[in-house]
Every structure is written in C-alpha cells, then in structure tokens.
Amino acid sequence: MKELQSVKQRFGIIGNHEGLNRAIDIAVQVAPTDLSVLITGESGTGKEVFPQVIHTYSIRKHGPYIAVNCGAIPEGTIDSELFGHEKGAFTGATDSRKGYFEVANGGTIFLDEVAELPLSTQVRLLRVLESGEFIRVGSSKVQKTDVRVITATNIDIVRAVATGKFREDLFYRLNTVPVRIPPLRERGEDIILLFRKFAVDFAERYRMPAIRPDSEAREMLVHYYWPGNVRQLKNTTEQISVIEQDREITVVILSRYLPDYQSGRLPVPINAPGGPDFNTEREILYKVLFDMKSDMHDLKNLVYDLLNSGTDADNLTESGARAARNLFNDSAVRRPAFESPQSPQMGYVPPRENRVIEDTEEVVEESLSLTDREKELIKKALEKNNGKRKLAAAELGISERTLYRKIKEYDLDD
C-alpha cells in the first residue's frame, strides 16, 4: 500500500478506484522483467503514464525511453521512423538515419496506438520482438537491438484481429502482460478528486480563487458519461475556471459545459460475422426493394389462403372485398393463369402448390458494357455543352484530342 501511494505521488496519479490500483500494481510488478506489456483503455484515460512507471521501476531505467505515437506517423514513413533508412533508400533520403529501435537500444520504447500500424510494419515489429533483429529501409544488413517494448491502444484490438486488421501472432506477442485502464465514468469519487486537483492547478495558473462544485454538481460530475475521460474533465474544469465569475459551481452552470451525450449516443449498427456488409446507399436500397417484393408475395399468398379456405368476396366486408379485387385486378398484377375467365368476381382458387404467382414488372437488365457507358457519357457531355467539345472534354476529365478520337471511334459526329 505504501509503495502504491509512492507511485501515485511520483507520477501524479490521482484516485483510489480498485481498477486503477490494480493497473498500477501490475505495472510495478512486471517492471523488473523484460516482458511485453499491452495497455488498453479508452482515449483520454491516461495510458501514457504507465509505460513511464514500468520504465522507471525496471533495470533499464538508466537507458533511453522513447514514446512513439504510431497513429501520427504517415504510413509511407513509419518503417523509416521505427527502423531507420539508408541514404538514397527513397526520394528525400539524403543521408542515413537511425530509427527509434536503434536509438532506444538498451532502454524502453513505447508504441502508442499500436493498432494503427500497417500490416507490413507489423511483420517487421514481430521480428524485432522475437529475435531483436531489424533491417533499415533500403539496406540488406541485419542489425540487432535490445529494447523493452510497451504498447497501448484505445480500440478493441481483439476485434481488429478478427477482422484481419491486426496480426494475431503479433497480438499474442504484445499481450504477454495486459494492463487495462478503467474509463473515468467507472471511477466514482475519483472524478471529484480529479476535479478539485485541476481546479487548484488552474487557480494557481490564472491567479484566481479555485472553483468548487456544490452537492448537486458533484452528483452530476459522478454520474456523467465522460466520453473524453480525464482529458475531457480537465478541459471542462479549465473552461469553467476561466469563464465563470461565480466560484461555486451549480448544476445550472455545469450543464452548460457538459453536453448531454447520454441522449445523443445512438446505437451504431455493426455487421455480424458472416453477415451482409452494405458499403453504399445503392446496395441498401436494393436490399429494401427486394424485401418489399418478398413481402408483397407473402401478402398475395395470404389472400390466396384466405380465399381457398372458403372465405369468398361475399363474406368479406365491402372495403375488404374491394381491396381483394384491387389486389388481383390491378394493372400491375397479372391475372393468374389458372383463373377461369367465366368465374364470377374472384373465381376459383386452387391449392398453393398448383398455382404460380407472377408479377408484370418488367426487369430490364442494365448494360454493364464499359464501351456503352463511355459512349453514353460522351453523348450526354456533348448535349449538355451544346456540342462544344472543349467544354465537354473538360467535364469528362479527358483531353480534347482524346475526345475527338472517341467521337470518331463511336461515330458521334452527327
């Protein structure tokens, strides 16, 4: 317990939540080893503090400590940043450069947002973790490094593995020791402690009295969702400290700075594994139309069953009979081939297995020929621009020379 409080004071960690204490305890216990640690938690929970704790309490504490935000480095340069490059390896590589893994030799490297790494970089990282070997971009020479790798992510990395966005073998290599940081909304009274700490800090910075929440405002702070976690709480406290004249914060004042995320957090549809994946509005529309057509067939079958069970138009209500007649006499629906032309009103209805229900809707196959599409687009562009080929070519995104050739090829001179 004494060591736990010492760590909190040294690194400015505030709170007594069980999940937070557990995360600190794991970090301290695993620090003397060289095991890989994966820190998970929502954005804004303070994940970046725990790699520093691990490094400080490790045997590598006198070695270099490098923190890398993988999500902030462009995909085209991430390999060069991590593993270095040789002179001339790519455009702009005017000199050789050491990568982070080479610079951090003998120390610790913290890869934040590790799930953002491209798959090709993940392969390189796996090799470093397994053998300590890496190759600079543009080189064929294998180099060695001795680093402790700590990673963090704010996404569901297990789901990323399931969808193929993150390598499974790399996940298990990084997740030797998992550390979960609880979100702020789960930490209860820790929220009040953090609010008071931030209020005092900003009071000293801006030379003004510290703000203090009343009892109702404290309840609102504790029960708020906090989607931005500690980062949002800190920003909110700073805004109130600077803007509000009244130093005692009420629910009315606090509500101005806390948007109602509870009512605005709509459910997001997630495709089930193996289920349909609709990428465009057109695909969704097609699905809706097919479902509507299926429902119409079911409705027709239902009416057939009613009629076949002995319920004729005379036993239906006047509105029901009219609706039944419209269903089968409407111009959009063909009269079934088995219906007798001499039958009064609805006629004879045979059993389900002997009837065929058809729609008169004519399905026109859309041409998928690229040539036809190209020809049609050129004609429309010419018509839209009153035959002015220069304007038509500009709208089509092609040169006038290409347009002239296409006009001649498709015989569109007229």
What does the pLDDT look like over 137-189, one tens digit per residue? 999 999 999 999 999 999 999 999 999 999 999 999 999 999 999 999 999 99
Inform me whether the pLDDT recorded for 321 exceeds 90. no
Structure-token pair, residue 196:
């008071």
One fold for both 2-182 and 370-409? Answer: no
pLDDT of residue 89: 87
Model's pTM, two decimal places?
0.63
- For the ranges 265-279, 295-309, 384-398, the maximum mean pLDDT occurs at 384-398
Pick the CATH number of 2-182 from 3.40.50.2300, 3.30.70.1140, 3.90.1150.10, 3.40.50.300: 3.40.50.300
The residue among 331 and 199 whose pLDDT is bigger is 199
Question: By percentage, how much of the chain surpasses pLDDT 90?
Answer: 59
pLDDT of residue 388: 84
R_g (Cα) of the chain, nearest Å: 34
Contacts of residue 387, Cβ cutoff 8 Å, sequence gap at least 6: none
Q: Find the helix packing angle between 389-396 and 370-384, rounded to 10°.
A: 130
The residue among 14 and 362 whose pLDDT is bigger is 14
Give residue limits of the domains in the chain.
2-182, 188-264, 286-354, 370-409
pLDDT band of 265, cuts 50, 70, 90: very low
The residue among 51 and 295 whose pLDDT is bigger is 51
Contact 37, 175 (CB under 8 A): no
According to DSSP, the β-strands at 142-144 and 133-135 are antiparallel
pLDDT of residue 236: 96
Interatomic CA distance for residues 154 and 170, integer angstroms? 17
pLDDT of residue 90: 87
What region, left, alpha or beta, does residue 39 occupy, with left being phi > 0 and alpha being psi -120 to 50 degrees?
Answer: beta
Least reliable range by pLDDT among 69-73, 85-89, 200-204, 263-267: 263-267
pLDDT of residue 251: 93
* Short-list 347, 349, 238, 373, CA closest to 301: 349
Q: Regarding the domain delimited by 370-409, which CATH topology (the fold level of the hierarchy) does it fall under?
A: Arc Repressor Mutant, subunit A (1.10.10)
The residue among 261 and 294 whose pLDDT is bigger is 294
pLDDT of residue 282: 53
Inform me whether the pLDDT recorded for 195 exceeds 60. yes
Tens-place pLDDT, residues 226-251? 999 999 999 999 999 999 999 999 99
Inform me whether the pLDDT recorded for 330 exceeds 70. no
pLDDT of residue 389: 84
Inform me whether the pLDDT recorded for 262 exceeds 60. no
pLDDT averaged over every residue in the chain: 82
pLDDT band of 324, cuts 50, 70, 90: low
Inform me whether the pLDDT recorded for 115 exceeds 90. yes
Inform me whether the pLDDT recorded for 108 exceeds 60. yes
Q: By three-state DSSP, how is residue 111 classified? A: strand
Would you list the DSSP string of 337-375?
TTS-TTS-TT-----GGG----B----PPPP--HHHHHH
pLDDT of residue 397: 80
Q: By three-state DSSP, how is residue 40 classified? A: strand
Least reliable range by pLDDT among 120-124, 194-198, 286-290: 286-290
Inform me whether the pLDDT recorded for 340 exceeds 80. no
Q: Which CATH class is domain 188-264?
A: mainly alpha
